[in-house]
Amino acid sequence: MDSPAASTPPPTGVIDPALTQEAARKLKLLHAAIANVIFGQEELISLAITGLLAGGHILLEGLPGLGKTELVKCFAKALQLDTKRVQFTPDLLPGDITGNPVLQETGGERRFVFQPGPVFTNLLLADEINRASPKTQSALLEAMQERRVTVLGVTHQLPEPFFVLATQNPIELEGTYPLPEAQVDRFLFKLEVSRVATEVLEKIVAHRRLGEDPLLASVMSRDELLQFIALARRVFLPPVVIEYIARLVNASHPGQSAVSQYIKYGASPRAAIGLAAAARARALTQGRGYAGTEDVQAVARPILQHRLILHYQARLEGLTSAEIASRLVAEVPVEAKSLPRTLAAAKIN
């Protein structure tokens, strides 16, 4: 692509390309640093970076031992973020997440002093979130959405940035509680951590020792991350891309597309907002000051797959929500209007 002319002043709202290029360079470094620890998961790492850049929470789903927790630890180290880990168990209480008032005696007076819970951090690793009771899971709802916690009528603001990286096991075992749709909808991405190829496994075996924490240097500071998050929000979203996002989300509802026959309930407007934010973040990782439909298509599957509630017919046919989301992206065209039969798109030489 030709570089823009330097003689003409940039239009209003255009991000300085130098900033986007610098942001892209840094983010590539972050990607490389984490990929140096988590082998064979390049796309997972890219999407996770995109999710964090968009300011969203991420739900990691995968079998045990695939590196979900390790990935979160890598982010914490590379981004120099305050990180806390909560192992969700069935006996975990909401106060164990948000914090509890504690009766203290100070100067002869007894009063309740709020003791912040582990949620008061930058990066909260919620391990095996589906093992906690629904009551405990709901304690995260306000924190994830509002970035604040209310205890005994007192609202406590959470620090910035605040991310929840939750993990869950796809195998349904005894003692697990599926996440309610309201909480699932608050995760920007749901990323599937899949098993790696044999070559990658060889590399893991060659470079990892059991129980040993891998070394990972810091790539960027917390303030830099906040700057990049702010910059991502300034990435320009053309009207045609906005219109494409709207059509994509609308097509996920029953009766609006061919694949929606398998969908009982479609994606919400929160999904559309998430698509826009994630597309901007991805564009920034590519060094662009504007987002395109390609960016939307790249992030559509992790954003939509956990927001689609399928019909039993889809389950009978063995279709997963991830496959439905992929079909949806393939079915909805980028252009709203088609060409007439009298015209055909020429082939590019």
Partner 1 sequence: MARRVNWGWWWHRLGPALVGVNLGGAAALLLFRQLRWPLALWFALVGAAWLIAAGWAWWRARTNFFAEAEGLLRLETYLRWNNILSAAAAGGLRWPGLPAQPIRSLQWQWGKSAQPVLASLAFLLAALVIPVSAPPKPALPPPTQLPPALQQAQTWTDTLKEENLVEPATMESWAERLEQLKQKPQQEWYGQESLEADESLRNQLAQEIDALGKNLKKAADLLDALQNLPAGASLPADLQAALNAEASALQNSNLPMRQELAQMLNNAQNLSPSQLAYLKNQLQQGANGLNSMPTTMVAPGSLMSAQGLAQYYDPNAQAAYHSAQDDQLRYVRPNARGAGATGTGGGTNGLSFASPTDLRAQKQQGVNSKNLNSMVPGDVVGISISAPPREQADGAAAGAGGGASQGDGGEAVWREELTPQERALLQQYFK
Give the interface with partner 1 as residue ranges (CB under 8 A).
Answer: 1-5, 8, 10-14, 236-241, 289-295, 334-346, 348
Query: Cβ closer to partner 1: 177 or 236?
Result: 236
Q: How far is the CB of 289 from partner 1 (least distance, A)?
A: 7
Q: How far is the CB of 30 from partner 1 (least distance, A)?
A: 23
Query: Cβ closer to partner 1: 113 or 240?
Result: 240
Q: Residue 336: count other Cβ atoms within 10 Å of its Cβ.
A: 11
Q: How far is the CB of 11 from partner 1 (least distance, A)?
A: 4
Query: Cβ closer to partner 1: 17 or 161?
Result: 17
> What CA–CA distance (Å, rounded) separates 99 from 114?
7
Query: Cβ closer to partner 1: 66 or 235?
Result: 235
Q: Please give the structure tokens belonging to residue 79.
A: 């981004």
> What CA–CA distance (Å, rounded) separates 80 from 74?
10
Q: Report whether 13 contacts 290 (CB < 8 A).
A: no
Query: Cβ closer to partner 1: 1 or 152?
Result: 1
Please list the residues that pair with 62 across neighbouring strands: 193
Distances (CA, A) of 109 to 103, 104, 112, 114: 10, 8, 10, 15
Query: Cβ closer to partner 1: 16 or 146?
Result: 16
Q: How far is the CB of 140 from partner 1 (least distance, A)?
A: 36
Query: Cβ closer to partner 1: 50 or 167?
Result: 50
Is residue 299 within a helix (H) or strand (E), and if so which, with residue range? helix 293-304
With a CB cutoff of 8 Å and minimum separation 6, the contacts of 316 are none
Task: Transcribe 177-241 into DSSP letters.
Answer: -PPPHHHHTTEEEEEEEPPPPHHHHHHHHHH--TTPPPP----S-HHHHHHHHHHHHHSB--HHH
Q: Report whether 332 contacts 341 (CB < 8 A).
A: no
Query: Cβ closer to partner 1: 57 or 282?
Result: 282
Q: How far is the CB of 28 from partner 1 (least distance, A)?
A: 19
Q: How far is the CB of 309 from partner 1 (least distance, A)?
A: 31
Q: How far is the CB of 8 from partner 1 (least distance, A)?
A: 7
With a CB cutoff of 8 Å and minimum separation 6, the contacts of 327 are 259
> What CA–CA distance (Å, rounded) separates 190 from 168?
10
Q: Report whether 177 contacts 130 (CB < 8 A).
A: yes
> What CA–CA distance (Å, rounded) separates 131 from 142?
19
Q: How far is the CB of 18 from partner 1 (least distance, A)?
A: 14
As to burial, measured by CB atoms within 10 angstroms (0-12 exposed, 13-18 middle, 19+ buried), residue 142 is: middle
Query: Cβ closer to partner 1: 41 or 293?
Result: 293
Q: How far is the CB of 296 from partner 1 (least distance, A)?
A: 10
